[in-house]
Chain A
Amino acid sequence: MAEVRKHTYLEEVEPGVYRFADAKQAESRVRRQLAELFRRNLELWKQIRHGDQSLWRETEALIRWLENAQG
Chain B
Amino acid sequence: MKGLGSKEGSALRLGDWLGRALLKWAPKFMERLGRILYEEEISRLRERAVTFLLECLRYELIALNGDLTLADLRTNLMLLRPNGTLQMTYISGDYSLAEKQLEWREGIGCCGMAWARKEPTVTDAQDTERLPPTYREIVKHVKSVISVPVKRVTGDWVGVLNADSTKPLSQSRLDEAELRDVVIRYAVGIGLLF
Contact segment of B37-45, B56-64, B183-191 = B183-191
Which residues of chain A come closer than 8 Å to B151, judged between CB atoms? 69
Tell me if A36 is interfacial: C-beta within 8 Å of chain B.
no
Q: By the criterion CB–CB under 8 Å, are A26 and B177 in contact?
A: yes
Task: Determine how close the nearest CB of chain B comes to the CB of A54; give it in whole angstroms.
Answer: 14
**Binary CB contact string for chain A from 11 to 34 against chain B (1 if under 8 A, 0 otherwise):** 001111111101110110111011
Chain A interface, number of residues (Cβ within 8 angstroms): 31
Q: Chain A interface: which of B25-33, B71-79, B126-134?
A: B126-134
Q: Determine which of A7, A20, A65 lies in contact with B153 in the assembled complex, contact meaning CB atoms within 8 Å.
A: A65
Partner of B181, one of A16, A18, A24, A26: A26
Instruction: List A contacts of B122 (CB < 8 A).
Output: 10, 17-18, 20
30 cross-chain CB contacts under 8 A:
A1-B125, A1-B129, A2-B144, A2-B170, A4-B169, A5-B175, A7-B177, A13-B113, A14-B113, A16-B124, A16-B128, A17-B110, A17-B127, A18-B122, A19-B117, A19-B120, A19-B121, A20-B180, A22-B177, A23-B184, A26-B120, A26-B180, A27-B188, A30-B185, A34-B188, A34-B189, A62-B192, A65-B153, A69-B151, A69-B155
Docked pose: A33 CA to B181 CA in angstroms? 11
Known pairs A30-B184, A71-B119; A5 contacts B153 (CB<8 A): no
A16 touches which of B123, B153, B185, B188 (Cβ 8 Å)? B123
Main secondary structure of the interface of A (DSSP, over half): mixed
A3 at the interface (CB under 8 A from B): yes
Shortest Cβ distance from residue A24 to the other chain B in the assembled complex, whole angstroms: 8
Q: Which residues of B contact A45 (CB under 8 A)?
A: none
- A2 near B189 with CB under 8 A, answer no
**Nearest 5 interchain pairs by C-beta:** A16-B126, A2-B168, A16-B127, A2-B125, A23-B120
Q: What residues on A are CB-neighbors of B137 within 8 Å?
A: none
Contact A19 B177 (CB under 8 A): no
Q: Does residue B67 face the partner (Cβ distance < 8 Å to A)?
A: no
Per-residue CB proximity of B85-125 to A under 8 Å, as 1/0? Answer: 00000000000000000000000001001000101111111
